[in-house]
Structures are given as C-alpha cells and as structure tokens.
Homo-oligomer: A and B are copies of this chain.
Amino acid sequence: MSKVQPRTLSGFMELLPARQAQFDRMVEILRQTYSLYGFTPLDTPLIEASEVLLAKGGGETEKQIYRFMKGDTDLSLRFDLTVPLAKYVALNYGKLTFPFRRFQIGKVYRGERAQRGRFREFYQADIDVIGDGKLDISNEAEIPAIIYQAFTRLGLKRFQIRVNNRKILNGFYAMLGLTEKSGDIMRTVDKLDKIGAEKVKALLMDEEIGLSEAQAGEILTFIAITGSNEAVLAALEGYRGRNEVFDQGLSELNTVVKYLAAFGVPQDHFAVDLTIARGLDYYTGTVYETTMLDHPEIGSICSGGRYDNLAEYYTDKQLPGVGISIGLTRLFFVLEDQGYLNDALNTAPADVLILPMTDDLSPAIALATTLRQAGIRTQIHAEQKKFKQKISYADKLSIPYAVFLGEDEISSGVCAVKDLSTGQQVKLSPAEAVAHIQAGLEKLNQGKPILDKGE
C-alpha cells in the first residue's frame, strides 16, 4: 500500500505526552482559579454562521478568518471567545442572570502568517463579567486580581499587570482639543518603547497628524508620568478639574488601585501605565496588559478591559462588561522555549506500573483495582516482554513506582514496591502499598507547573 506522509499543519501545536500533561495541568489550574471566583464554564461551538460571527465586519481580523461553505451555509471558525460570548448573551438574555460571570477556555483560529511562536490554532482562557445596564467598578479590580492569582498558582513570579483607564486618555486628549486626532496619536504613542520619545514627538508633529510643538510636548510630558502607582496617581491629580471624563477616569483608577490591593495583589505586581490604550473602539474604562518582566519582547500575555456594549451588533440591550484573556498556547510556547516549565513535576501517564510475574493476571488485576480505588493511577504491564524491557518502559515514561507481583508475593499477600527514582524496594501489604505510594506522590506533585527562577 502506498503511504501518505503523516504531518501536522504548521501553526498548529501538537504536544508529546509529557508536555501535554504539563499543558493540561496549567489549564486545570486556570479552571480551578476561575471557578473559585464564581465564574461558570461555557463551551460554545467552534463554528458559527459567518453572518453572525462577522456582524461587526471589516478589519484586519477578517482576512485571517477560516471561512468556508458547507452546502449552502456560509460558516466561519471563531477567532476569539468574545464574539461567541456576545452572541450567547444576546441569544439567551432572558435565561441568564446578571451580572453574568463566565469563563471559557477553548481553541480559536486565525490564519496568521506562519512563523515561530505564532499559532493558527490556539487556546484562549477568558473571563468576563457582564452587567445588565450597569456594572460596578469593583469588577474592574477583581478581574486583574484573578489573573494575579492564576499566574501565581501556575508558579509565575516576575510579571506585572499594567493598568490604565481609557477615560483618562480620552479626557486628556479632549483637554488639548485633540479628540478627533486621538486615534492617530495613540497609535503613535504606542511606538514609544520601540522608537523612543524623540521620534514619537517628530511623528506627532509631521504632516499627517500635524500637532504643534506645544501639543506634542504636552503629550510627551503626560506619557512620561511614571514611577510608583502613588506617584503616578498624584501627578494625574494635577490635571483634575479640566475635563469631566478625565476626572471620572481618574476616580475610577483610584478605586481600582485601592481594590487591587484589597484583593491581595502586591504593589510590585501592578503598575499604572499611561501608555496602555488597547485598541480604539471597544474598551471604554479600565484596560489591562500583562508583561513578563524578564521577557518584555514577547508583549502582553494577558490583556483586556472594560467595555460598555458587549453585544451591540445583536441587541439593543446595554450590556457593559469587563473581561480579560490569556493567550495560553503562545504563553506555553514561550514558557517551554525559555525553560520555565517545571519538568520535575510528575508527567507520567501512571503513578504505578504493576509487573505481573505469573501467567494468570487475576492477582495483578485485583491489586490494580485496590490502587485505583485509592486514586492511584495504575497500569498493568501485561505484554510478553523481558523484565528489563518492562522496567525500561517505566523509566522512559518516568512512572514513579513499579510493583512486582510473583508467586511468592501472592502466596504471602504482599507486593514488592520499588521507588524507581531511589531504587528503594519494600514488601508491603496492599493497604501499606497504598499509603506508601500516596505519601511519595504527595511530595512528587507538590510543585507548580512553572519554575520562575526570578525574585
């Protein structure tokens, strides 16, 4: 038979078993953390009617979309989890209870140009709180606090959540009479890290944007406000009273900063950063970006913010919300690439490999049942292979314990439990074996999935 070359598409992450176990453990921690904060899991289809998914239309994203016909139906794969959420909430409005808090961890699709570290199929891990008409400001502090918790539980240490408020930006540009140009200005200011202050100033004053030197100077002074959160907030007080929107934004930012501390986020893990804008037409209040302090080059690993209208393309209902999204596949790629994954954690498919030494497997099966009932992941190696090959199987998979069961053990009601990392072997009754193995596993499963050497 002629063979087809097996391959996985480029831009699609497909992990080997031990890596997959690490990835799944991270997903499980995110699920647990999101659940602890009262978010309900959702699972929407990967395929939607194009007319629904692309209701907003246009934009750069549209070119990247996987769109196709099936019969007479124009279909698209979801490119984020926000549009499906908007559809879900609009569709089920009467059946949901608000504020509606949901998390969704799922794959999305974008036909990006293939390059290292860029994925066409990738996981996003989103949380959103949606209000019906109104939504309290405290949610804008809780959302980044959840992210702080999530990353901390994963083991990440050297990261910072950067916070800004769109009303401060909009109010500031209104003060200068530059509301019309604020989009161009923010796009230019966004280049600050890359090209420096002088070039930003020059761009602001060039023909296209056309600011005066005084205006450009004001903007550069404004975005140069840095330092401790206290210092930045104090400097912003100097602008108060000149624009109502600005003042509201500053009050909100003060509240968010206060509650972030109450939610237990340490001062050094969040920073007010006036350069963060997050797009132009969607976010209306607090905005977030999250950076790994030792890898600023990878950009934001978790972003989001407050919006006023989740579902305006589907409904007249005013549905304000606040949400944040972790780009999980890319984050995992970076963590692996930079050596952050904790390979000491148990990634074996089983905790115990039973090696039966008799033809009749019944005693081995009975022992496996006892171990499994105690929650110990157990595999019986029943293949006709040499002893050495069986031990090598456990070694290759990093299975922590081997259990030998021969005629002698069976007749005296014990089994021989070998710790494969120390080589230590003990004869134990099934109940003793359970306790012995459970104690060992507890140690082995103690660490976190990410080893952040910093701090």
Contacts and interface: CB of A to CB of B under 8 A. Distances in A.
Interface of A: 1, 3-9, 12-17, 20-21, 23-24, 35-49, 51-52, 55, 66, 68-71, 73, 75, 86-88, 90-92, 95-97, 99, 101-102, 107, 109, 111, 121, 131, 134-136, 138-139, 142, 259, 262-264, 311-316, 349-350, 353, 361-362, 365-366, 369, 372, 375-380, 382-384, 393, 396-397
B138 A38 contact: no
Nearest to A90: B6
Given A20-B43, A138-B380, 7 more contacts: A1-B312, A6-B315, A7-B87, A14-B45, A36-B378, A38-B349, A259-B362
A331 to B, nearest CB: 16
Of listed A4, A14, A365, A393, residue having the most chain B CB within 10 A: A4
Nearest to A120: B47
A35 B377 CA distance: 6
A377 B20 contact: no
Contacts of A55: 4
A366 B262 contact: yes
23 contacts: A1-B313, A3-B313, A3-B315, A3-B316, A6-B52, A6-B91, A6-B311, A8-B91, A13-B45, A17-B41, A17-B102, A23-B43, A36-B372, A37-B372, A39-B349, A40-B349, A46-B46, A46-B107, A66-B68, A66-B75, A97-B397, A136-B383, A263-B365
Contacts of A41: 17, 20-21, 24
Given A20-B41, A38-B379, A70-B66, A47 B9 contact: yes
Contacts of A263: 365, 369
A277 to B, nearest CB: 24
A313 B1 CA distance: 7
A406 to B, nearest CB: 17
A73 B51 CA distance: 24
Contacts of A45: 8-9, 12-14, 121
B361 A121 contact: no
Nearest to A99: B383
A105 to B, nearest CB: 11
A362 B15 CA distance: 43
A360 to B, nearest CB: 9
A378 B37 CA distance: 5
A259 B383 contact: no
Contact of A383 (B24, B134, B264, B366): B134
A383 B131 contact: yes
Nearest to A95: B16
Of listed A14, A353, A369, A393, residue having the most chain B CB within 10 A: A14
Contacts of A99: 383
A210 B95 CA distance: 60
A44 B15 CA distance: 8
Contact of A362 (B36, B48, B262, B378): B262
